[in-house]
Structure 1
Amino acid sequence: MQPYTMTIQMPYDVFIHLHKSRIEAAQDIQRQAAIRYYKMRTLSLGKAAELADMTRFEFIDYLRFNGEPIFDYTSDELSEIHEDAAKLEEILG
């Protein structure tokens, strides 16, 4: 994958208050963007991990560390899962 470089501007006093190097701040912003896009369902887990420059397992751990759910189903999806589970129980008896 060929990287695409983007530039952001940040007020210097905000940057100073982060108490991080430019590389650490950029990595933090990139990883937080990955979490946001994953939560919004814009990116899959794999693509969000790629954006965060992590493996899937590292990204899952990063989500957990940040208190974010790994699987965030909608109520419709949960209902469908419950219905499928009930059907499976009937079949397996």
Structure 2
Amino acid sequence: MTDRMLGRIKLEGYTTFRELDLDVRPMNVLIGANGAGKSHLIALFTMLNQMIKGDVQLYVARAGGADRIWHYGRKTTERRVVALWWNDT
């Protein structure tokens, strides 16, 4: 059995990210100015966890509503993508 590791994240229309295509390595360091999206990237994993548990509505409510988690709100952002690629190790 092989282990799987997250290898790439692609986001469109999520919080501060209009578009993000990020290669993930075994160790990653997030550096950036305030408001650049570091915390939003980490919050993505909380949202995904809540989706798996079936509690995504609770997550959205706690986040302040759908307009807070979509880039510039639901009316502006038509396309929302969260794609994850996994690598075998």
What TM-score bracket applies, with the shorter chain setting the length?
0.3 to 0.5
Larger Rg: 1
Question: Greater helix share, 1 or 2?
Answer: 1
Question: Greater strand share, 1 or 2?
Answer: 2
Taking structure 1 as the reference length, the TM-score comes to: 0.34
Taking structure 2 as the reference length, the TM-score comes to: 0.35
